[in-house]
Structure 1
Amino acid sequence: MSLKPNLKLIAANAVLFGSLLAALACAPTPAHAERLKDLASIGGVRQNQLSGYGLVVGLDGTGDQTTQTPFTVQAIMSMLQQKGVSLPAGTQLQLKNVAAVMVTTSLPAFAQPGQNIDVTVSSMGNAKSLRGGTLLMTPLQGADGQVYAMAQGNVLVGGAGAAAGGASTQVNQLAVGRISAGATVERAVASSLGADNQIKLELNSADFATASRVVEAVNDKFGPGIATALDGRVIRVRVPSSSDQRVSFLGILENMDVKPAEAAAKVILNARTGSIVMNRAVTLDTCAISHGNLSVTIGADTQVSQPPAGSRGATAITQNPSVSVKKDAGKVIMLNGGASLAEVVKAMNAIGATPQDLLSILQALKAAGSLRAELEII
């Protein structure tokens, strides 16, 4: 029995495998069911942003230059006065181990006093690094001006830096750090969850078909009349009056599987980076696309004319402008009506279009009415 490979069999298998991959790539993607918690959120269950102004001390000479950051000096003097330390009038503080910072965090939904949350500490002045510093007690306020948490602790900076002999190197950002469990919640946000024995489900994206499917799925599981669609985004759901039963009901509700409606055809263009993203619902009407490069070069040939020796003439400088136009060979691609995203991308690659060229091509297709998609430029 020969152990040599059968080259014809291998080639046939390779062709069969390639055809299978092509068929799978062209096959329509079935709509998968998603959990309701991934499609919608419960009205009123949200985070709240908090921020505060504080001081980081204990830096190794990498703090703010107080001559250029007067707010750091003012904060230090105010803190010392609160601690009972009086400074003589006209005192000029020259500190290098202190930095003024902004402390930010998000207060989770249903957070209660005594719970700990993480905070981010960011330099406000010209501090070189917050590495090794300690954040002093900082009140964190909400949009209403009320204090909801107090932050304090050692700042952890993920970067590193070194300098010697005029040379320096730095890895990552040194002016921003984080304190794990660095803030303690002092005030809870009032919640109206379940008021009037009802909640509101808010879809992440407004879609009447998806809202209708959610209402149908909820009513099929819990009974008719439990869910009612108010519009294409908000769905009102009746919940039990008991808090224990309500929590159990919402847990089951969030983990229900719902098949969302097909997403609307959309093309996102980023004019700054040239990136383009299209979903699989994007199609084209019958159209022809032409692509060619036209380059215009304008130059000037400078010539110097010297007068003969002994003459009274002056040196003359003249410029002879030159203009040249070069046009590369263009290509025309014909696309039949109903072309899919794969055919669109294949056609664009065939004519050698760059992302910047695609920006203009897609805009022209939209203006001509051939692009069956919403065009959004960011």
Structure 2
Amino acid sequence: MNHQDAHRRTERLLRWALGLAAFLSSAALWWPLPASAARIKEVAAVQGVRSNPLVGYGLVVGLDGTGDQTTQTPFTTQSINAMLQQMGVTVPPGTSMQLRNVASVLVTAQLPPFARPGQTIDVAVSSIGNAKSLRGGTLIATALKGADGQIYALAQGNLVVGGAGASANGSKVQINHLSAGRVPEGATVERSVPTPLNDSEVLHLGLNASDYATAKAVAAAINRSKGPGVAAAVDGRTVSVRPPAGSDDRISFLADIENLSIVLEKPAARVVLNARTGSVVINDAVTLSTCAVAHGSLTVTISTTPAVSQPNPLAGGDTKVVEKSDIAITQQGGALMQLPPGAKLADVVKALNTLGATPQDLLAILQAMKTAGALNAEIEVI
């Protein structure tokens, strides 16, 4: 291969590379970008098929002297007396019971849908007295009731407490929380809760969040897969579905539609403010209009100095210690800054960072921007 052939080959490769680059750049205009997709099971669930909270009052025994102080928690002693009476043991009246190895607790659990008698569920145990620790304790048989007052499960077992602690001579060290624990599979289901899964000709899918576009997308995906007229969007939160009549076919039908993919539209612009922690969360749909913001900080400092008030020798007064307080207010001025309009989340974050404000300051700044009409988003304070 001579020099001219090599030069021609280089020109052909260069033309091919330029053509490929032009094709890719034009494809960016007509080729659809990958959209955000999710399965129906991740955005909706069958209405009426849900878990039910259970609660019960019980006793934890076998503690190593870290239980309730019965002088301050008399209900623990009353519970022990009632339990012993049921077991045929009578405690003489007026007996002073110092039960440092017993603690009164509340037991909570979630009864999952379709749970049947004999199945087991996890329970959480929390002290309601002044017990120092539940570590090493055993929960005795506790009836768990629902909102209707009926018993749906029976809990008992050894507690698992994810903490440790020790104290001596007024010193104390503790890791994690010691007055709450769990009993894995500690409750046995005694009664099931009926569900409307097979009772109606029409089932309703409840969306996790109210959104008309999502409801429309869910109904369209079901109709494409199962035929027209099977699903219809009732409102922004509910989609009605007509499943097959048979129980077996109905389960298969629901399993199929749960795994159908839908395209999620961009959510509504929202800013979430946590007033307790100062956290600020902004989603991708938030935009910012042109505005000018001046931010400054105000600091109030109070210093107290003790002083001795000494009266004259013949005044007959008393020598006293008084406190002298000095109050100073310092204000750091902030320059007036113009924030450019931002159509992307990165632009909004960059504009807010130019203010040099702390997350606590942003709570007030964002609310002021919303009032001025410069923040195109809904503000939610939690």
Q: TM-score range by the shorter chain?
A: 0.7 to 0.9
CA drift at 1:196? 2.5
In structure 2, how many angstroms separate the alpha carbons of the residues matched to 1:185 and 1:49? 13
Where does residue 197 of structure 1 map in the other structure? 201
Asked if residue 217 in structure 1 is aligned to residue 217 in structure 2, the reply is: no
Asked if residue 367 in structure 1 is aligned to residue 362 in structure 2, the reply is: no
**Percent identity between the two aligned chains:** 58
CA contact (8 A) 2:49 2:196 kept: no
Larger displacement relative to structure 2 (327-336 or 68-77): 327-336
Q: Specify the code of the residue in structure 2 equivalent to 1:125.
A: G
One of 311, 332, 337 as aligned partner of 2:337: 332
In structure 2, how many angstroms separate the alpha carbons of the residues matched to 1:99 and 1:233? 45
In structure 1, how many angstroms separate the alpha carbons of the residues matched to 2:197 and 2:331? 68
Q: Specify the code of the residue in structure 2 equivalent to 1:128.
A: K
Asked if residue 127 in structure 1 is aligned to residue 131 in structure 2, the reply is: yes
CA contact (8 A) 1:52 1:140 kept: yes
Q: Mark the runs of 5 or more structure 1 residues left unpaired by the alignment.
A: 1-27, 305-318
Q: How many residues align?
A: 338
In structure 1, how many angstroms separate the alpha carbons of the residues matched to 2:280 and 2:297? 21
CA contact (8 A) 2:144 2:153 kept: yes
Where does residue 13 of structure 2 map in the other structure? none
In structure 2, how many angstroms separate the alpha carbons of the residues matched to 1:275 and 1:294? 21
Asked if residue 234 in structure 1 is aligned to residue 238 in structure 2, the reply is: yes
CA contact (8 A) 1:194 1:239 kept: no
Where does residue 12 of structure 2 map in the other structure? none
CA contact (8 A) 2:294 2:334 kept: no
Where does residue 92 of structure 2 map in the other structure? 88
Matches within 5 A, 1:239-254: 239-254=243-258
Matches within 5 A, 1:1-378: 30-293=34-297, 327-328=332-333, 330-336=335-341, 338-378=342-382
CA contact (8 A) 1:292 1:331 kept: no
Q: Secondary structure at the match of 2:196?
A: coil
CA drift at 1:266? 0.4
| CA shift in 2, pair 1:54/1:375, >3 Å | same
CA drift at 1:340? 2.4
In structure 2, how many angstroms separate the alpha carbons of the residues matched to 1:32 and 1:352? 33
In structure 2, how many angstroms separate the alpha carbons of the residues matched to 1:262 and 1:141? 42
| CA shift in 2, pair 1:323/1:84, >3 Å | closer
CA contact (8 A) 1:119 1:181 kept: yes
Q: Specify the code of the residue in structure 2 equivalent to 1:153.
A: G
In structure 1, how many angstroms separate the alpha carbons of the residues matched to 2:50 and 2:69? 40
Q: Specify the code of the residue in structure 1 equivalent to 2:271.
A: V
| CA shift in 2, pair 1:341/1:121, >3 Å | same
- List per-residue Cα deviations over 1:181-203 (Å, max 9, x = no partner): 11100000011113232211000
CA contact (8 A) 2:290 2:338 kept: no
Q: Give TM-score, length-normalised by structure 1.
A: 0.83
CA drift at 1:166? 3.0
CA drift at 1:226? 0.3
Q: Give TM-score, length-normalised by structure 2.
A: 0.82
| CA shift in 2, pair 1:220/1:322, >3 Å | closer
- List per-residue Cα deviations over 1:140-163 (Å, max 9, x = no partner): 000000000000111111111122
Q: Secondary structure at the match of 1:216?
A: helix
